[in-house]
Amino acid sequence: MIVVIVIASILLASISIIQFKNEAKEYHQERLERKEDAVKAHIDYVLSTTTYPLTTKNLDLIFKDKIHELAQIHNIEINIYSLDGQLLKSSKESFSVDKIAPPIPKYIQKLVRSSIEKRFVEIKTIDGIKNRSSYSQIKDDKFKPLGILNLPYVEDDGFYENELNNFLLRLGQVYSFMLIVAFALAYFLSTYITKSLKTISDKISETSLNQKNEKIVLEANSKEINLLIKAYNEMVDKLEKSALKLAQSEREEAWREMAKQVAHEIKNPLTPMRLTVQSFQRKFDPNDANVKQKLNDYSETLIQQIDIMSSVASAFSNFASMPAQQNETLNVVEVVELALDIFNEDYIAFESQETEIISKMDRTQLIRVITNLVKNAIQAIPETQLEKSILVTVIRSNDQVQILVKDNGVGIEAQHIGNIFEPKFTTKNSGMGLGLGIIKNIIENYKGTITFATVVEKGTTFTVTLPIINS
């Protein structure tokens, strides 16, 4: 709309300028013709009333005084030339002191003689101003040529230029007002038209496979936009179905992997149990003097393997279904220090600059987090290592409490860093690798985070961050 108005204003201004110039040209041309006709009529009257013979030589005498009178009456400069182009008489006073006046150029004389009307108009531009000079023959009453009449005419375009400037000024004011109106209309119309598109754009940008996407409830005035809204709503339905299928597929895949891992962990103790039973069956002798001792050894072996199977089942159960949270207000420093009392290793140290940092969470689950991290730290230190160190630190950081468990063990290799919190990932020879997955779930349930920093052969530091209650 704005571009159309601008183009229209430019075209209208251009056409107006051309029109004014054409009108000025036609005006000057017609005005010169009218003056020429009037002067020639007056000259014919002078020739018809003169007492001098009508010859070219007598033109100077005939118009000796009359030429100035004619020039004043018609308000124009008048020059009379002979047929060979020599100036005979001029109303311009300056010519009277010139010894030799410039003659009419030969080509103009030729054009005057060869034209039907015996007339020619020369147009020259001097200092940016157009000058017209008409040349026509002066004839006697028998239409015999006596001389050449020259009427210089300077075009004065001041009036037309003033009118043109006024017109362009008014045109500029009108179109400036129209442009302001066009800008306002364009803004409101575009806002109205694109409002529904903005809604669709916002909805599309918020669309995600990991959340429930809302449909667009909007009735637009455009059929095309309504079709777009319908297509988006259909896409949301399909996306939701795809998300459900994907989630179900991921869950099934996770449980399949978990089932394989559980089956593998249960199968490990079953093999020694089977071998133990077979050996006992083959070698059992009721009359043996050491039968009671052998029976005890056999029972302890079975109980040990059964405990392993029980721990596997418990770990799997804990991961699959976390116990309900029993949130309570507790002192994190005190609970962490209490959780360390169960460990007998003398190289485990505890540090805290404060004696009380209050948070709200399940005491049992916090103890489970600390216990699991410390156990992992103990297992990360080789038994053959001489200097062993595990440092558990509790510090306050703004509105959070940080629990750091630092060991000087073997560290975590680069290829394992991205999988460390995966439920079934482990670098140990035993266990299901569910520990870090469980504590990660516990921490995230309390809007906390768990991170770690590791250096191979130097150790690892796990950092647990939990929200606290400001006292």
Express each pLDDT in 3-31 by its tens digit.
887 888 888 888 888 888 888 778 778 88
Q: What is the pLDDT of residue 392?
A: 96
Of the pLDDT bands very low, low, confident and very high (cuts 50, 70, 90), residue 389 is very high
| Strand bridging mode 390-397 / 348-352 | parallel
Residue bearing the bigger pLDDT, 225 or 439: 439
Q: Give the CATH superfamily of 327-467.
A: Histidine kinase-like ATPase, C-terminal domain (3.30.565.10)
pLDDT at 97: 45
Q: Which residue has the higher pLDDT, 323 or 167?
A: 167
Strand order in the sheet with 348-352: 348-352, 390-397, 400-407, 459-467, 449-455
| % of the chain at pLDDT higher than 70 | 84
Q: What is the pLDDT of residues 446-469, one digit of tens each?
A: 889 999 999 999 999 999 999 987
Helix-helix angle 363-380:435-445, to 10 degrees: 140
CATH architecture of 2-162: 2-Layer Sandwich (3.30)
Pairing, β 400-407 against β 459-467: antiparallel
**Number of Cβ within a 10 Å radius of residue 380:** 19
* 317: confidence class by pLDDT, cuts 50, 70, 90: low
Token pair 């319908």: residue? 230
Closest to 74 (Cα-Cα) out of 96, 91, 86, 87:
91
- Compute how many other C-beta atoms are within 10 angstroms of the C-beta atom of residue 453: 13
* Residue 422 backbone dihedrals phi, psi, to 5 degrees: -70, 140
Please tell me which residue, 156 or 59, carries the higher pLDDT value: 59
Rank 57-66, 298-307, 334-343 by mean pLDDT and report only the highest: 334-343
Q: So what's the pLDDT on residue 166? A: 84
Looking at residues 297-314, what average pLDDT do you find?
74
Q: Residue 220: what pLDDT?
A: 66
Residue 275 or residue 338, greater confidence = 338
User: Cα–Cα distance between 196 and 63 in angstroms, integer?
Assistant: 88
**How many Å from the N-terminal Cα to the C-terminal Cα in the chain?**
64
Quote the strand ranges of 37-182, DSSP E.
79-81, 87-90, 119-126, 129-139, 145-154
The more confidently predicted of residues 428 and 170 is 170
The two structure tokens encoding residue 155: 């075009």
CB of 164 closer than 8 Å to CB of 20: yes
Q: What's the CA gap between 367 and 371, in Å, rounded? A: 6
DSSP, collapsed to helix, strand or coil, labels residue 217 as: coil
**So what's the pLDDT on residue 55?**
85
- DSSP category for residue 215: P
Architecture of the CATH domain 223-320: Orthogonal Bundle (1.10)
What CA dihedral angle connects 413, 416, 422 and 426, to 10 degrees?
Answer: -70
pLDDT score for 335: 92
CA distance 120 to 134: 6
Alpha-carbon dihedral sign for residues 216, 219, 220, 226 = positive
pLDDT over threshold 60, residue 366: yes
Q: Are 109 and 44 in contact (CB under 8 A)?
A: no
Q: List pLDDT tens digits, range 413-457.
A: 888 887 787 765 455 544 434 568 778 888 888 889 999 999 999
Averaged pLDDT for residues 363-367:
86
Torsion of the alpha carbons at 49, 52, 54 and 55, rounded to the nearest 10:
-150
Domain residue spans in the chain?
2-162, 223-320, 327-467
- Please check the confidence at residue 376 and state whether its pLDDT lies above 60: yes
Q: Give every CB contact of residue 32 below 8 A, 6+ residues apart in sequence.
A: 121, 132, 134, 151, 153
Residue type present at position 333: V
Question: What gap in Å lies between CA 244 and CA 26, rounded to an integer?
Answer: 84
pTM value is 0.38
- pLDDT at position 293 is 81
- Per the listing, tokens 């003097």 go with 289
AA identity, residue 431: G
User: Would you place residue 402 in the very low, low, confident or very high pLDDT band (cuts 50, 70, 90)?
Assistant: very high
Average pLDDT over residues 300-316: 72
Q: What pLDDT shows up at residue 261?
A: 67
What pLDDT score was predicted for residue 350?
95
Calculate the alpha carbon distances from 229 to 203, 215, 236 in Å: 10, 9, 11
Q: Could you give the CA distance from residue 464 to residue 394 in angstroms, rounded to a whole number?
A: 10
Residue 467 in contact with residue 402, Cβ under 8 Å?
no
- Using one digit for the tens of pLDDT, what is the confidence trace for 182-198? 888 888 877 777 777 77
- Please report the DSSP string for 78-108 in residue order: -EEE-TTS-EEEES-GGGGG-SSPPPPPHHH
Q: What size, in residues, is the chain?
A: 471
Instruction: Residue 373: count other Cβ atoms within 10 Å of its Cβ.
Output: 25
User: And the tokens for 385?
Assistant: 């290592």
Handedness of CA 321, 326, 332, 334 (dihedral sign): negative
